[in-house]
Amino acid sequence: MKLKSLESSRDDSGLAGAEQVLRLADRLRESNGGELDDSAILAVAEATGAPIDYVRLVITTQSTSQNLTPFEKIRKSFLGFDPGIRNILGASVFASGYVLFSTLNAVIRQSYYNWTGLLSILTFLSAFGAVAMAGTSRDKKSALLAGLVGGAGAAIMGSFLRPLFGQPGDSAPIMILMAVLGAVLAFVFHVIYSGIRHKLGLKDPISERQELLQQLVQIQDKLKENEQPVTFVSVDIVGSTKMKQLADRLSVEFTLNEYHKYAETIARKHFGRVHSTAGDGITMAFDSPQSAVSAAKNFQAGLIELNTFRNKIGAPIRVRIGVHTGTVIAPDAGDIRSVNFASVIDIAAHLQKECPPGMVAVSENTALMSQGGPSALGQTWIEASGTRAVLWGSRAMSEGEKQKSGPPPPPI
């Protein structure tokens, strides 16, 4: 079972978008109250249809971007490896510890006898850790390989380390025997571990993966409850910084307040609402693509009245507008203002930046859903962030307004 894309974030190769993978991973991590283990990562991969290595990369990238201690970063990077590689690395590290502690134990046995007990314990724990890391591999073949690599690594390290402390190195037959012994011990540990994992309260990997998949389906259903198609209209004033420099503060404040009131009126008139504002930039949201397109047209056409009667700056306000439709998930059901991060908002903003002053850039999918289609809006196309948009409006009108404008009035 694969999850349907929560946004149009799946590329031509069928990979799930990083945003979807992270959303599912975060929800699953919250529901489990801890880290994502291998079964959870595999479940996310199966649910989204993304390769498991891609899921690991996305989750690891997210972890490294967080404010973590160096130890936590190393730990998360280690957990980001494939389980087979992780078992081999873990077995090799513990095997290296076994060689180090056993060598030190032999060197200081005579002079510092009191320390040999501690070193003996560390030697045993390192050996057990190496066997356990290799033996907990996902299958017998992987356990044999991890044990073989760990044993061979210990033999090779011992042949270099022991002579440095005046101890005899291992002969070739002994080194081969250590590698084989590592593989055998790992195999035996794997068989025993597989037989008693239920008694230890550990779930079977297949059953655990099925349970996690069920959780992911429930998470998807919960997310889809707040999923809705929305058309965003991104508006920004052209040359606003220069306009502010040419007029006094009170005139600028009055004009921008009137400008924001104007935007609120346009949004309400077309059954929409102002989603957010940032300085001169305004983003409006509409349930209907047609309403959004009509509002954008009305916004441009009505600027003549705003500039004539409510603009005290002395230079006409000219805007660029971008319109795009997409699916978003509102954290608070029914409240579109709770959506702060969505690709549809970003695309609308990118289209707005590429749009000529005095015109409206309507994305292709929005134009197809509006009355008359793209041909009713215009014949000129632009592209931004891989999204095509048709231009509506007249450049001549905005340029004419610019030419007619005179110098700003003297400060009050």
* pLDDT the model gives residue 10: 38
Query: Pick from 170, 310, 166, 297: which is nearest to 235 by CA?
Result: 297
* pLDDT the model gives residue 164: 85
- Please name every residue paired with 286 in a beta bridge, in sequence order, or none if there are none: 231, 272
d(CA 44, CA 41): 5
3-state secondary structure 302-318: HHHHHHHHCCCCCCCCC
Phi-psi region of 358 (alpha: psi -120 to 50; beta: other; left: phi over 0): left
Domains of the chain: 83-196 (no CATH), 227-404 (3.30.70.1230)
* pLDDT the model gives residue 343: 87
d(CA 393, CA 297): 8
Q: How is residue 36 annotated by DSSP?
A: -
Look at residue 216 and tell me whether its pLDDT is greater than 90: no
* pLDDT the model gives residue 8: 39
pLDDT tens sequence across 279-313: 889 999 999 999 999 999 999 999 999 999 999 99
Look at residue 21 and tell me whether its pLDDT is greater than 60: no
Look at residue 81 and tell me whether its pLDDT is greater than 90: no
Q: In this structure, what are the phi and psi dihedrals at residue 36, rounded to the nearest 5 degrees?
A: -90, 120
Look at residue 193 and tell me whether its pLDDT is greater than 90: no
Q: End-to-end distance of the chain based on CA atoms, in angstroms?
A: 69
Q: Cβ distance 316 to 307 under 8 Å?
A: yes
Mean pLDDT on 326-346: 75
Query: What is the pTM for the complete model shown?
Result: 0.50
pLDDT tens sequence across 357-399: 999 999 999 999 999 999 999 999 999 989 999 999 865 344 4
Q: Which residues contact 182 (CB under 8 A, 6 or more apart)?
A: 91, 95, 130, 131, 134, 147, 148, 149, 150, 151, 152, 154
* pLDDT the model gives residue 24: 61
* pLDDT the model gives residue 333: 57
- For a pLDDT cut of 70, what percent of the chain falls above it? 65
